[in-house]
């Protein structure tokens, strides 16, 4: 049995280290459960600044590409390290389902949610072999430092797949082989194993590059066309009005130029990123292009992650080419600024596909 503070990093789960079976195998081996009687010990470890420095909750939540009104389930939520951020991003019209298997962790998190006034967070105890989610009830799933604890993971993946709405996806974060944190070596899973188990559950899965120093990220995309985003919020309608009011200034450039982009940037509040991202799904290509251009102008990967995470399967078909074009142009300008003689666009996927996303990326550990 490994020491929970080193290996769990947030999850309150009574099951212990597994000898990893092949995908779909029903059998698993469980040592005795951990002692969660001293919750304060776990809270101190999981909520410490040192833990946040390598866990990077903001970076993890950004991978989910949430917008207001979404429903996201955090499986193995533990002390609720991600809940305040998730609650903020989905807004009052969205919901966060904080799911865990350990009764004492669930009791603690219920007290925390009430104390912090997270009214859009629902805490629920679930079984270790079933997320307990209704079919087609959630837009995103988050599984951090938990996947290696689950028994019958291919079956669990299938249950998650059923719970997702079309176009939804799961983000699985777990420890690399080299990480000084995490479970013993024999209990760790490679990205290839996680991908195979998600695929056995019906997902299209692949690793994505990220900024986490001790963990890798695997995305599992539910197959099928998206049923669309939630109804626009009042804030989204306000931002669309800003775009529409300035679109005439750039009628020869499809409604977008430096002035229109800068005008929208000035109108944005620090909390508007989810609202801006939702505009990428708008049915007006000028709105989509202007929103995408703001992300690209920042050079912050906020736009490029859409393709990296494979969430563009949920984008309306005619919006994909718009987003591709903006990313391609931004990368071409970056290459030109760096003194490149010409911009080389390797292996196009849809006409002019983008290069690697803007910003730093950390290579995944090799299997």
- What gap in Å lies between CA 174 and CA 309, rounded to an integer? 16
Least confident of 41-55, 145-159, 172-186, 341-355: 341-355
Who has greater pLDDT, 20 or 164? 164
Helix, strand, coil tally for the chain in percent (to 5): 45, 15, 45
Q: What is the pLDDT of residues 98-110, one digit of tens each?
A: 999 888 889 989 9
Who has greater pLDDT, 97 or 348? 97
| pLDDT band for position 131 (cuts 50, 70, 90) | very high
- CA 1-142-184 angle, to 5 degrees, is 20
What pLDDT shows up at residue 12?
Answer: 43
Mean of all residue pLDDT scores within the chain: 76
- What gap in Å lies between CA 229 and CA 276, rounded to an integer? 13
**Which of 183, 132, 184, 145 shows the shortest CA–CA distance to 46?**
145
Tokens 């079933």, residue located: 130
- Residue 340 clears pLDDT 80, i.e. is over it: no
Least confident of 133-137, 166-170, 248-252, 351-355: 351-355
Who has greater pLDDT, 301 or 243? 243
Max alpha carbon distance in the chain (Å)? 69
- What gap in Å lies between CA 14 and CA 32, rounded to an integer? 8
- Residue 362 clears pLDDT 80, i.e. is over it: no
Share of the chain above pLDDT 90, in %: 31
| pLDDT band for position 295 (cuts 50, 70, 90) | confident
pTM score: 0.66
What pLDDT shows up at residue 323?
Answer: 79
Who has greater pLDDT, 103 or 358? 103
Least confident of 14-23, 239-248, 275-284: 14-23
| pLDDT band for position 80 (cuts 50, 70, 90) | confident
Instruction: Say if strands 95-100 and 121-125 run parallel, antiparallel, or are unpaired.
Output: parallel
Q: Where would I find the beta strands (DSSP E) of 88-190?
A: 95-100, 121-125, 138-144, 164-175
- Residue 318 clears pLDDT 90, i.e. is over it: no
Q: What is the mean pLDDT of residues 274-279?
A: 85
CATH class of 4-221: alpha beta
What pLDDT shows up at residue 72?
Answer: 96
Q: What is the mean pLDDT of residues 240-261?
A: 85
Who has greater pLDDT, 232 or 251? 232
- Provide CB contacts within 8 A for 98, sequence distance 6+: 74, 77, 80, 83, 109, 113, 121, 122, 123, 124
Highest-scoring range by mean pLDDT, 72-81, 155-164, 222-231, 306-315: 155-164
- Residue 170 clears pLDDT 90, i.e. is over it: yes
């Amino acid at each position: 049995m490994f020491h929970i503070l080193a290996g769990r990093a947030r999850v309150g789960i009574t099951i212990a280290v597994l000898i990893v079976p092949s995908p779909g195998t029903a059998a698993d081996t469980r040592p005795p459960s951990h002692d969660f009687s001293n919750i304060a010990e776990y809270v101190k470890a999981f909520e410490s600044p040192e833990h946040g420095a390598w866990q990077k909750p903001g970076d993890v939540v950004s991978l989910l590409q949430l917008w207001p009104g979404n429903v996201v389930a955090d499986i193995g939520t533990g002390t609720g390290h991600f809940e305040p951020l998730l609650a903020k991003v989905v807004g009052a019209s969205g919901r966060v389902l904080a799911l865990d298997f350990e009764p004492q962790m669930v009791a603690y998190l219920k007290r925390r949610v009430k104390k912090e006034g997270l009214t859009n967070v629902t805490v629920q105890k679930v079984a270790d072999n079933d997320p307990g989610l209704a079919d087609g009830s959630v837009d995103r799933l988050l599984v951090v430092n938990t996947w290696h604890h689950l028994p019958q993971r291919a079956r669990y993946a299938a249950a998650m797949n059923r719970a997702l709405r079309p176009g939804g996806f799961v983000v699985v974060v777990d420890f690399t082989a080299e990480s000084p944190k995490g479970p013993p070596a024999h209990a760790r899973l490679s990205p290839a194993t996680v991908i195979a188990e998600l695929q056995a559950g019906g997902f299209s899965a692949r690793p994505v590059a990220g900024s986490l120093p001790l963990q890798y990220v695997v995305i599992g995309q539910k197959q099928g066309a998206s049923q669309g985003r939630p109804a626009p919020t009042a804030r989204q309608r306000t931002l669309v009005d800003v775009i529409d009011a300035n679109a005439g200034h750039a009628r020869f450039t499809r409604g977008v130029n430096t002035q229109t982009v800068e005008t929208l940037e000035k109108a944005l509040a620090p909390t508007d990123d989810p609202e801006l991202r939702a505009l990428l799904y708008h049915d007006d290509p000028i709105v989509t292009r202007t929103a995408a251009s703001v992300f690209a102008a920042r050079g912050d990967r906020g736009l490029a992650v859409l393709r990296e995470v494979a969430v563009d399967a949920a984008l309306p078909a005619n919006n994909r080419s718009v987003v591709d074009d903006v990313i391609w142009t931004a990368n071409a300008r970056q290459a030109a600024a760096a003194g490149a003689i010409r911009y080389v666009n390797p292996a196009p996927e849809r006409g002019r596909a983008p290069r690697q996303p803007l910003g730093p990326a950390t290579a995944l550990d090799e299997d």
